[in-house]
């Protein structure tokens, strides 16, 4: 028996197999294996979060519990002719970032997020809320433990004390398993991946939690926060901040996979460095005369290990 993929990219999941029967006759059968999670309706509904500042530049309060926090829109909406539909407000969720959708019962999950000059919702920094996608009351699904204890103080220096909190407390991304059975959550405070039973209306506790291994030269610089699910594999991403070493070569983005309760070695590593092609890190001209990057800009990502990118990844 011999199998080979069909040549056209549009048929990348189809395979042609041929074999010889006992009677000596050659037989060819073309088969295709498809993942239902790869498909949806022609114009799916999109959802996004709206993060609202609590103070204007003049210091006046902008707190508004009825302001939108979650909105939906058709995939094919263009321009300003079709306004997004509000499905949740700031009073119900506060500031959220990570979203996950369970198509089996059309529930939209949203996770608390640490951001200066914004407010957490009633569930605090570890809250995960659930909202009927078609509209309805938003409720608390669960509270992720150990999500941090820093509080906002908007009246003092425009919440200045909260400046160092984002990325180190509250929740990062959330995502749903393709069969809708499990909800995955990154806790940016204790740097763990939490797994919840998504089939229930609420969850008193996680099914399990797993420490996301550091991929950084210094473990305290590890900032996990990203999630993705594809073909039954969970992808977990984070960055090495370089905060402790103050070295640009230590700043990088890392992606690893999670399956069966364990994490893989990094499957993708990207460095951030501005010492490329004679550029300096200060925005001044390098000794070669090549202009450096404009001060205050972020250098482009490059693949680690290349001759032009002497970063330690």
User: 140 or 79: whose pLDDT is higher?
Assistant: 140
Note the pLDDT of residue 79.
84
Note the pLDDT of residue 292.
37
Which residues pair with residue 252 across a beta bridge? 240, 271
CA dist., res. 55 & res. 183, Å (int)? 33
Contact residues for 83 (Cβ-Cβ < 8 A; gap 6+) = none
Q: Which of 17-21, 77-81, 163-167 has the highest mean pLDDT?
A: 163-167
pLDDT tens string 232-284: 999 999 999 999 999 998 999 999 999 999 999 999 999 986 544 344 443 33
What number does CATH give the domain 44-211? 2.40.10.500
CA dist., res. 302 & res. 270, Å (int)? 6
Domain segments of the chain: what residues?
2-34, 44-211, 222-313
pLDDT tens string 147-192: 999 999 988 888 999 999 999 999 999 999 999 999 999 999 999 9
pLDDT tens string 93-126: 999 999 999 999 999 999 999 999 999 999 999 9
CA dist., res. 145 & res. 189, Å (int)? 10
pLDDT tens string 2-13: 666 655 444 445
CA dist., res. 129 & res. 141, Å (int)? 5
CA dist., res. 113 & res. 127, Å (int)? 9
Note the pLDDT of residue 287.
33
């Amino acid at each position: 028996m011999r199998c080979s993929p069909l040549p056209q990219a549009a048929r990348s999941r189809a395979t042609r197999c041929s074999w010889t029967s006992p009677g000596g006759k050659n037989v060819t059968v073309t088969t295709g294996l498809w993942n239902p999670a790869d498909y949806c309706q022609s114009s799916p509904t999109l959802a996004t979060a709206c993060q609202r500042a609590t103070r204007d530049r003049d210091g006046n309060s902008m707190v508004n519990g009825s302001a939108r926090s979650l909105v939906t829109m058709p995939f094919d909406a263009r321009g300003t002719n079709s306004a997004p539909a509000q499905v949740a407000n700031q009073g119900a969720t506060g500031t959220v970032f990570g979203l996950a959708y369970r198509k089996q019962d059309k529930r939209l999950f949203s996770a608390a997020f640490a951001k200066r000059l914004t407010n957490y919702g009633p569930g605090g920094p570890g809250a995960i809320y659930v909202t009927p996608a078609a509209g309805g009351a938003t409720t608390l699904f669960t509270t992720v433990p150990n999500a941090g204890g820093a509080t906002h103080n908007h009246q003092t220096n425009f919440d200045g004390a909260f400046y160092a909190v984002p990325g180190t407390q509250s929740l990062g991304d959330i995502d749903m398993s393709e069969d809708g059975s499990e909800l995955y959550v990154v806790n940016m405070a204790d740097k763990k991946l939490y797994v919840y039973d998504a089939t229930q209306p609420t969850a008193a506790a996680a099914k399990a939690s797993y420490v996301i291994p550091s991929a950084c030269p210094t473990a305290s610089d590890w900032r996990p926060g990203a999630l993705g699910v594809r073909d039954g594999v969970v992808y977990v991403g984070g960055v090495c901040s370089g905060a402790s070493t103050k070295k640009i070569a230590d700043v990088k983005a890392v992606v690893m996979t999670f399956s069966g309760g364990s994490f893989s070695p990094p499957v993708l590593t990207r460095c951030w460095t501005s010492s490329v092609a004679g550029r300096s890190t200060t925005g001044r001209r390098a000794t070669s005369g090549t202009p450096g990057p404009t001060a205050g800009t972020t250098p482009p990502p490059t693949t680690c290990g290349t001759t032009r990118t002497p970063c330690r990844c």
